[in-house]
Amino acid sequence: MIRHKPTIIDVAKRAGVSTATVSRVMNGEALVKDETRQMVEDAIAALGYRRNYLARSLVTGKSGVVGVLIPDVTGPLYGQMARGIEDVLIPLGLHSILVSDNRDPQEEERAIGLLLERQIDALIIIGSYISDASLAQLISPDFPLLLLQREQVSLNSPYISLQLDNDQGVNEAMQYLYEMGHRQIAHVGGLRYDGERRKVVYEAFLRARGLEPFTLASDGTEEGGYQAADKLINKKPEVSAVFCINDRTALGLYHRLQERSVRIPEDISVIGFDDLPFAKHLAPPLTTIQQPARLMGQRAAELVLDLQAKSEGRQFSLSPQLMKRQSVKSIG
Amino acid sequence: MIRHKPTIIDVAKRAGVSTATVSRVMNGEALVKDETRQMVEDAIAALGYRRNYLARSLVTGKSGVVGVLIPDVTGPLYGQMARGIEDVLIPLGLHSILVSDNRDPQEEERAIGLLLERQIDALIIIGSYISDASLAQLISPDFPLLLLQREQVSLNSPYISLQLDNDQGVNEAMQYLYEMGHRQIAHVGGLRYDGERRKVVYEAFLRARGLEPFTLASDGTEEGGYQAADKLINKKPEVSAVFCINDRTALGLYHRLQERSVRIPEDISVIGFDDLPFAKHLAPPLTTIQQPARLMGQRAAELVLDLQAKSEGRQFSLSPQLMKRQSVKSIG
DNA sequence: TATGCCAATGTAAACGCTTACATATTTAGC
DNA sequence: GCTAAATATGTAAGCGTTTACATTGGCATA
């Protein structure tokens, strides 16, 4: 005897009620007599009935899914953000569909299209590279859209934007180095968007104090940091502290510095950005600026779900936190 | 003028054809006259029509979604696996819904239930802790199910299982240490499942050569490795090499060893497991056993999608690879 | 010219649910 | 015990597709 998956009709028949009543029970509505409810629940249990959320979505018009465009789940920070989003979705019975866009505008466009076909209820785009025009064209003005970690966007539709407060983070770190007596502070930069901003703030900080910035261009990877270390030692041996664009860069720098027997922090202080899991376990533990990535994900989800069709586009930002560890030494 | 989202009916009207024809065009079927196709495509473009995948799924019975239960996207390895799964799904126009189960059987059960409501086409469970009984009860026998990184399961339904070949990985690493002249090899263990197996293999390897194993229990975290380092130095200073259960443990060990001025690899050789991104950038770069996590994700997706209702449950495994770097030194 | 056949398209019935509205049943008020 | 209001349940029309089956027309064949 072949059995197809039981539907709401099967349940209704078995319980001797109409599908409407079953539906009401499934959705926990109040207006069902206890007795009836019990019968329905028994039927559900007996049949092993499980509601078809697709059919439900079709009529309610809510898929219960929010799309998330992410550069790469593999990145520790992005993973955290994805997790943060999930944190708020799951308890609500919602789900997220993650798509890695590989920082490719083409792929992003396709991905957004597919997500929209799936009738997602909202869309969170993390650090995207898609053009404003494409975005505007793809997404209707009243669609709940949230841009996470993306530069200011000139969309006239109401969208929400959430970013890390880079300025605050960098200033705090620089202030710390400054207070520890450092005056010759180098920067290993790189990275689009965030990176550019951080560099600007770094330079402004020094210039405001009559100091000369010294920036080494890099690519945000360990290799970049590794190479930067050599350049630093060769070109600016008098530098007493380095502010790295991120922890990965700092890790490469550590590596090369240690190979060349430059001691951290005795000979040179190092400060990173991100606070990746390994940062506090390096030798010495890396002082760095923590990105509240998971929290950002949570905030993002909360914001995008609350978005009312009429609400105006708004900007939000979250503060990073300086994690003081042993890679910075007081001098002078 | 308020416009609702255009449906296939709107397109049909505008193109002067029936919905069936529009549907055929949307699905790229052959039996449509070029001329007609063109009209339909024009109408689609003009209206900005986008198909409702939900409605489609309802009738086709395929949601185009595979559910993925993952302990925590945040873990680097799990992130990679998720990415691997995505690698094969996206080009097929499919999507994955990720749910972190936090290693909690209760949450897993709920999560599976919700995913099934969403009519997922297949389910991949990574390293789950749910009981076989619950699993069997939740999932019908002909449902495409794949267990990734989970111990042997006694389900009589046809499921697929994919695992890392721990034995091979550990043996290769031990063989390497052995060939490099090491005879006093310690192990810092911990972790359920995989960890237990690795320990067994480690011990078997040594015993087979008349050597005495020395295992330090740990918890797989950096802190655990850190503490293990102390114990090791105090209790077994004669050890010349340590095989760590994973890279995180090795990182903690590095840290403490370096704090106590024990040099790697001059005084002690270290070998890890996983090959996390930071491993090759430590000083010295960590020799470790690479888990092909992303590849495993890809394989998993491929396997689960190919699963025919009648195919028998099968076991697959993937080989890890020893990454020889500078944390192991030849002695004797 | 009549007969099939094939290609192209249309018709309409699902898919499994929710929900506005209609109807039946109960309860309360007097 | 009767009426009105409140409560509980049923009816059936969608939601936006796909697809089996029916229909149409054109063309080659006899």
**pLDDT higher than threshold 70 for residue B139:** yes
pLDDT of residue A170: 97
| Nucleotides of chain D touched by protein CB (<7 A) | 7-12, 14-20
Output the six-digit token pair for A40: 């329905």
Q: How many CB pairs under 8 A join A and B?
A: 130
The answer to whether the beta carbons of residues A98 and A127 sit under 8 Å apart is no
pLDDT at B60 (0 to 100): 96
Q: Determine whether the interchain pair A63/B54 forms a contact, defined as Cβ–Cβ distance below 8 Å.
A: yes
Q: What is the mean pLDDT of chain B?
A: 92
Residue A58 contacts strand D, CB under 7 A:
yes
Is residue A244 predicted with pLDDT exceeding 70?
yes
- Whether omega before B284 lies within 30 degrees of 0, making that bond cis, reads yes
pLDDT at B97: 98
The least confident of A63-67, B54-58, B172-176, B194-198 is: B194-198
The CA-atom distances, in angstroms, between B144 and each of A132, A268, B163 are 41, 56, 17
Q: Would you say the C-beta of B27 is within 7 Å of strand D?
A: yes
What nucleotide is nearest A60 when CA is compared to C1'? C18
- On chain A, the residues whose CB falls within 8 A of the CB of B119 are 52-54
B311-324 average pLDDT score: 85
Q: How far is CA A237 from CA A186, A227, A264, A265, in A?
A: 11, 15, 14, 14
**pLDDT at res. A150:** 80
Q: Among B100, B114, B115, whose Cβ lies nearest the Cβ of A86?
A: B100
| CB distance A108 to A124 below 8 Å | no
Residue A65 and residue B98: Cβ atoms within 8 Å?
no
CB contact under 8 A, B98 and A79: no
B73: which chain A residues are within 8 Å (Cβ-Cβ)?
73, 79, 82-83, 86
What pLDDT is attached to residue A191?
Answer: 74
What pLDDT, on a 0 to 100 scale, did the predictor assign at position A156? Answer: 65
Q: Is the peptide bond before A213 cis (omega within 30 degrees of 0)?
A: no
Q: Of A268-272, A295-299, B223-227, B310-314, which gets the smallest average pLDDT? A: B310-314
The CA–C1' separation of B30 and D16, in angstroms, is 23
pLDDT at B2 over 60: no
Q: The tokens of A285 are what?
A: 């533990």
The arithmetic mean of pLDDT across residues A9-21, rounded, is: 94
Percent of chain B beyond pLDDT 70? 95
Q: Return the DSSP state at A91.
A: G
β-bridge partners, B68: B98, B124
Q: Write down the pLDDT at residue A133.
A: 87
Q: Regarding predicted confidence, which is higher, A153 or B107?
A: B107
Residue A154's pLDDT is 67
Suggest the residue from A44, A47, A74, A222 to mutate for an interface test with chain B (most B CBs closer than 10 A): A74
Say which residue, A304 or B158, is predicted with more confidence.
Answer: A304
Query: Contact at 8 Å (CB) between B223 and B252?
Result: yes
Q: What is the pLDDT of residues B59-101, one digit of tens each?
A: 999 999 999 999 999 999 999 999 999 999 999 999 999 999 8
Q: What is the 3-state secondary structure (H, E, C) of chain B?
A: CCCCCCCHHHHHHHHCCCHHHHHHHHCCCCCCCHHHHHHHHHHHHHHCCCCCHHHHHHHHCCCCEEEEEECCCCCHHHHHHHHHHHHHHHHHCCEEEEEECCCCHHHHHHHHHHHHHCCCCEEEEECCCCCHHHHHHHCCCCCCEEEECCCCCCCCCCCEEEEECHHHHHHHHHHHHHHCCCCCEEEECCCCCHHHHHHHHHHHHHHHCCCCCEEECCCCCHHHHHHHHHHHHHHCCCCCEEEECCHHHHHHHHHHHHHCCCCCCCCCEEEEEECCCCHHHCCCCCEEEECCHHHHHHHHHHHHHHCCCCCCCEEEEECCEEECCCCCCCCC
Which residue is closest to A255 within chain B, CA to CA? Answer: B283
pLDDT of residue A307: 53
pLDDT for the residue numbered A160: 87
User: Looking at this protein, which amino acid is placed at residue B253?
Assistant: L
- The torsion angles phi and psi of B287, rounded to 5 degrees, stand at -75, 130
Return the residue in A26, A63, A73 with the most chain B beta carbons within 10 A, the one to mutate for interface testing. Answer: A73
Rounded Cα distance between A11 and B283, Å, is: 64
Question: Which letter does DSSP use for residue A6 in this model?
Answer: P
Residue of B nearest to A68 (CA): B97
Task: State the nearest Cα–Cα gap between A208 and chain B, in angstroms.
Answer: 35
User: What local confidence, expressed as pLDDT, does residue B1 receive?
Assistant: 42
**How far is it, in rounded angstroms, from Cα B272 to Cα B253?**
10
- So what's the pLDDT on residue A308? 47
Give the C-alpha separation, A250 to A258, whole Å.
12
Yes or no: say if A299 and A147 are a contact pair by the CB < 8 Å rule: no
Angstrom distance (rounded) from CA B37 to CA B23: 11
What is the structure's pLDDT at A309?
45
pLDDT at B152: 63
pLDDT higher than 60, residue A88: yes
Single out the residue of A209, A208, A211, A188 nearest to residue A199, CA to CA: A188
What is the spatial distance, in angstroms and rounded to an integer, between the CA atom of A18 and the C1' atom of D9?
Answer: 8
Which strand C nucleotides have any atom less than 7 A from protein CB atoms?
Answer: 7-12, 14-20
Interatomic CA–C1' length for residue A26 and nucleotide C27, angstroms: 27
* Alpha-carbon separation of residue B303 from B88, B159, B298, B317 (angstroms): 11, 10, 9, 12
Chain B residues 7-26 with Cβ under 7 Å of strand C are 16-21, 24
pLDDT-derived band of residue A310, with 50, 70 and 90 as boundaries? very low
pLDDT of A314: 79
CB-based contacts of A172, cutoff 8 Å, min separation 6: A289, A320, A322
Q: Round to a whole number and report the distance in Å from the CA of B32 to the C1' of D28.
A: 22
Look at residue A175 and tell me whether its pLDDT is greater than 70.
yes
Q: What is the pLDDT of residues A178-191, one digit of tens each?
A: 999 999 999 999 77
The Cα–Cα gap between A109 and A146 comes to 16
**How far is A198 from A215, CA to CA, in rounded Å?**
11
Q: Do A283 and B255 touch (CB under 8 A)?
A: yes
Q: Is the CB of B27 under 7 A from strand C?
A: no
pLDDT (0 to 100) of residue B20: 94
From the list A94, A71, A1, the residue with the least C-alpha distance to B117 is: A94
The pLDDT of residue B309 is 45
Stretch A217-240: mean pLDDT: 95
pLDDT at res. A38: 93
**Spatial contact of A246 and A273, defined as CB atoms under 8 Å apart:** yes
For residue B310, what pLDDT band results from cuts at 50, 70 and 90? very low
**Positive or negative CA dihedral for B51, B52, B53, B59?**
negative
Q: Rounded to two decimals, what is the model's pTM?
A: 0.93
Q: Minimal Cα distance from B48: which residue of A?
A: A138
The burial of B1, by beta-carbon neighbours within 10 Å (0-12 exposed, 13-18 middle, 19 or more buried), is given as exposed
Residue A50 contacts B where some CB pair is shorter than 8 Å? yes
- So what's the pLDDT on residue A174? 98
Which residues 67-126 of B have a C-beta within 8 angstroms of A? Answer: 72-76, 79-80, 82-83, 86, 90, 93, 95-100, 111, 113-119
Other Cβ atoms closer than 10 A to B104: 14
- B46 near A CB under 8 A: no
Min mean pLDDT across A73-77, A185-189, A303-307, B89-93 is at A303-307
Distance CA A88, CA A94 (A): 9
Residue type, B182: H
Task: Quickly state the pLDDT bin for A305 (edges 50, 70, 90).
Answer: very high
What is the length of chain B?
332
Structure tokens at A41: 């629940």
Range A208-219 average pLDDT: 96
pLDDT at B156: 65
Q: Are A262 and A234 in contact (CB under 8 A)?
A: no
Query: Average pLDDT, stretch A112-123?
Result: 97
Place of tokens 């490469």: A252
Contact yes or no for A320/A174 (Cβ under 8 A):
no
For residue B221, which of B247, B248, B255 has the smallest C-alpha distance?
Answer: B248
In terms of CA atoms, which chain B residue is nearest residue A294?
B74
Q: Stated in angstroms, how far is A49 CA from D9 C1'?
A: 21
